[in-house]
Structure 1
Amino acid sequence: MVSFIDDVHLCTYHKLNQTDWMSSVLCANFSEKMQTVLLNHEENFHRLIHYLEQNDTKNEKSHTLQLYADCELEDDIQVDSHVHLAWDGEDLFRRDEQQGYWIFLKPMGYVLKPAVESPFWESVRRDYVQKYCFDIMRKILRYSRIHKNVPPQVTVSRHDDLGGTITLFCTATGFYPQSILLGWKKGYEHAIWGKESSSGILPNADGTFYLQVTLELLPGDPGIGYTCVVEHTELKSPAVYPVAGKSTKKAWPMALAIMLSVILVVSCSLAFVTWKKKTGLIPPSFSNNYGTFDISPALAWAPA
């Protein structure tokens, strides 16, 4: 048996390799109870397999019988439940609670129709879904960090290495459930133009999830026209996040240093000229028939 809430894997049971069933949440003896239930299921499945083998025309030596059951809660209200029975990977019949009747999909499924539709098995089905689906999910949600669906917060960036290598980063965090798709797109094409790597979907401390996908571009690629495409159940449509062009932040410190140097030189020159004027060593200007000429700059550096 494998158990999930949404797409979060909660626990697994195998006859030869038993796994803890979150006993700290459900109760100390829950694992023992579930083991007893599953062993009873095993016996019933063996009987059912032998019965169905008699009606199987394929005469296969090995068969698989699978039972799938799920239930849906919304704000602690029971919304729907489903039960499927499959033989060798194909559904024999299924039931949706909202429809209120069984749907038989294979001739072999009709063999079990009288038993499945009997009041006894209908009562067993309702009790099983209530006890082992709705009630267990309520207990787990009460003590867990699983919460309502949250869309991802996405950031994109680029890093230009000194050696000329360009690496693009697309980071999604704070999303729930964990199913998400991140992919790179250039122009109108979905393809890989370099070495792509992924952090894998990782859990955050608050129960949400995190994923980062990087793309190291091929030599000579300027990294123009790339976007990160994100798909998640909480996004109505795929979201597209463009990558900015090459950063120009490194040019600002040099430009600022040059500007400060110029200001410093001009300030020192003006201060020196002002001092010379006050000492009377530099006449500010003289006039002739052609106008007024300022000779201070010319004499500022002359020997006193």
Structure 2
Amino acid sequence: MECQRSSRWFFSAGLLVLEVFALRKIQAVHHRHVIQFTTVGIDHSILELSAISLIDDIEVASYNKGQKQIAIKIPCISEVLGVNYLTQWHNSLVKHEQDFLRPIEFLARNDINRHRNHTAQLQAECEMDNDITVKSHIYLIWDGEECYQIDEEVGHWENMNPEFKQYQYILESSLRTSLRKHYMNLYCVDLMKKIVGYSSLRDNVAPEMAVSQHVSPEGSIILSCIATGFYPRSILMRWEKNGKLGIWGNESSSGTLPNMDTTFYLKVTLELPLEDSGAGYTCVVEHSELTSPAMYPVPRKPTMNKPWILALGIMLAVILLLSSAGVFIKWKMRKTVLHVRRDK
């Protein structure tokens, strides 16, 4: 019994800690920047080099080797960054084009068909919380497979694919280390600070909510809570039963996804066990545009469809219709016969 009490206490304390942490993250000004360089090459030649920059899943800039220019997707960002910064960024991309050729050479060196196209990608991700960088990672993806990743706080590369482990000494050389930090600072962290520090990508919008439930073919109840049209990206959604937190069933999430209008979408579902009626559940939502947590009760449990009742109803309707038609035909025939007799 004492062990059970301790387990419940730790469970409740754990939920409280998670909730407080999540709330802090929602209330903070949190942004995420992803910039991805993609190189397509053959042996010792780069065929294509492109880059795309996304802040909070909104595309803000792109670069193409053929045009050799940076395309700004949101006009006000050009003013925020300034001509000097854009020129520095452009010159850096042109200058370091050969750096993106090295992975292509590594891939072609061990390929029987040396003239086959290869693809190398460098993806830098950084997250900022109230002007403090809380996450910065770089991923190397060769021919669609993630080969290396590095957490800038840890500072060493982690090999994800044994086939390419032999190249780790190159990544850890002083030249590659300085280039890596250059890419992270100039392209990821510095760019994000400039944009989110002086410019709003779009107006903040509170989420539009929809809560529903349906019965699965197996008889279990599926609760759905959908938030859409919100900005910024950070949001917290959870299920409560009679005002309490807990693990009530199998919960799944779509993850926060971008809409076409640069707002975001999130769907959280909860599958309840067969013995749970689904009564008393509420979807609780926290977002920076909501002054307090919003609560959306689940609507009443829908009635289960019973096919045999529907079929019986249709059958009775058909019988009634045929009976009415039969009575009408008999009445019409009798009336016709009476008219004939009178005429005679």
TM-score (norm 2): 0.46
- Output the aligned Cα RMSD: 4.6
Relative to structure 1, the CA distance from residue 172 to residue 133 in structure 2 (aligned partners, 3 Å threshold; closer, same or farther) is closer
State the partner residue of 1:20.
72
State the partner residue of 1:68.
123
Supply the AA of the counterpart residue of 1:30.
Y
Higher relative contact order (CA 8 A, sep 6+): 2
- Give yes or no for contact 1:23–1:29 (8 Å, CA) kept in 2: no
Relative to structure 1, the CA distance from residue 109 to residue 155 in structure 2 (aligned partners, 3 Å threshold; closer, same or farther) is closer
TM-score (norm 1): 0.51
Relative to structure 1, the CA distance from residue 201 to residue 123 in structure 2 (aligned partners, 3 Å threshold; closer, same or farther) is closer
Distance (Å, rounded) in 2 between the aligned partners of 1:112 and 1:14: 27
Relative to structure 1, the CA distance from residue 125 to residue 11 in structure 2 (aligned partners, 3 Å threshold; closer, same or farther) is same
Supply the AA of the counterpart residue of 1:104.
N
Q: 1:39 aligns with which of 91, 94, 110?
A: 94
Matching of residue 202 in structure 1 with residue 261 in structure 2 = yes
State the partner residue of 1:177.
233
- Give yes or no for contact 1:63–1:88 (8 Å, CA) kept in 2: yes
- Give yes or no for contact 2:72–2:78 (8 Å, CA) kept in 1: yes
- Give yes or no for contact 2:107–2:118 (8 Å, CA) kept in 1: no
State the partner residue of 1:166.
none
- Give yes or no for contact 1:23–1:30 (8 Å, CA) kept in 2: no
State the partner residue of 2:160.
105
State the partner residue of 1:262.
none
Secondary structure in structure 2 of the residue aligned to 1:61? coil
Identity, in percent, stands at 33
Quote the offset at 1:232 in angstroms. 9.5
Relative to structure 1, the CA distance from residue 231 to residue 84 in structure 2 (aligned partners, 3 Å threshold; closer, same or farther) is farther
Distance (Å, rounded) in 1 between the aligned partners of 2:154 and 2:227: 42
Q: 1:117 aligns with which of 168, 172, 177?
A: 172
Relative to structure 1, the CA distance from residue 130 to residue 105 in structure 2 (aligned partners, 3 Å threshold; closer, same or farther) is same
Supply the AA of the counterpart residue of 2:62.
T
Q: Deviations along 1:179-224, whole A, 9 cap, x unmatched?
A: 99xxxxxxxxxxxxxxxxxxx6436xxxxx488xxxxxxxxxxxxx
State the partner residue of 1:298.
none
Supply the AA of the counterpart residue of 1:176.
P
Relative to structure 1, the CA distance from residue 42 to residue 115 in structure 2 (aligned partners, 3 Å threshold; closer, same or farther) is same
State the partner residue of 2:59.
9
- Give yes or no for contact 1:8–1:178 (8 Å, CA) kept in 2: no
Q: Deviations along 1:17-49, whole A, 9 cap, x unmatched?
A: 541373211111333332222223332222431
Matching of residue 135 in structure 1 with residue 190 in structure 2 = yes
Q: Structure 2 unaligned segments of length 5 or more: list them.
A: 1-50, 212-225, 237-258, 266-282, 301-344
Q: 1:77 aligns with which of 103, 126, 132?
A: 132
Distance (Å, rounded) in 2 between the aligned partners of 1:103 and 1:36: 30
More helix by share: 2
Q: 2:107 aligns with which of 19, 29, 52?
A: 52
Secondary structure in structure 2 of the residue aligned to 1:34? helix
Structure 1 segment 154-303 matched on structure 2, within 5 A: 154=209, 172-177=228-233, 201-202=260-261, 209=263
Q: Deviations along 1:223-255, whole A, 9 cap, x unmatched?
A: xxxxxx9999999xxx866679xxxxxxxxxxx
Quote the offset at 1:114 in angstroms. 1.4
Relative to structure 1, the CA distance from residue 80 to residue 155 in structure 2 (aligned partners, 3 Å threshold; closer, same or farther) is closer
- Give yes or no for contact 2:120–2:140 (8 Å, CA) kept in 1: yes
Supply the AA of the counterpart residue of 2:232.
Y
Matching of residue 126 in structure 1 with residue 178 in structure 2 = no
Relative to structure 1, the CA distance from residue 124 to residue 42 in structure 2 (aligned partners, 3 Å threshold; closer, same or farther) is closer
Distance (Å, rounded) in 2 between the aligned partners of 1:202 and 1:40: 35
- Give yes or no for contact 2:205–2:232 (8 Å, CA) kept in 1: yes
Distance (Å, rounded) in 2 between the aligned partners of 1:32 and 1:145: 23
Distance (Å, rounded) in 2 between the aligned partners of 1:8 and 1:241: 32
- Give yes or no for contact 2:234–2:287 (8 Å, CA) kept in 1: no
Distance (Å, rounded) in 1 between the aligned partners of 2:113 and 2:146: 16
Distance (Å, rounded) in 1 between the aligned partners of 2:227 and 2:102: 51
Quote the offset at 1:175 in angstroms. 3.6
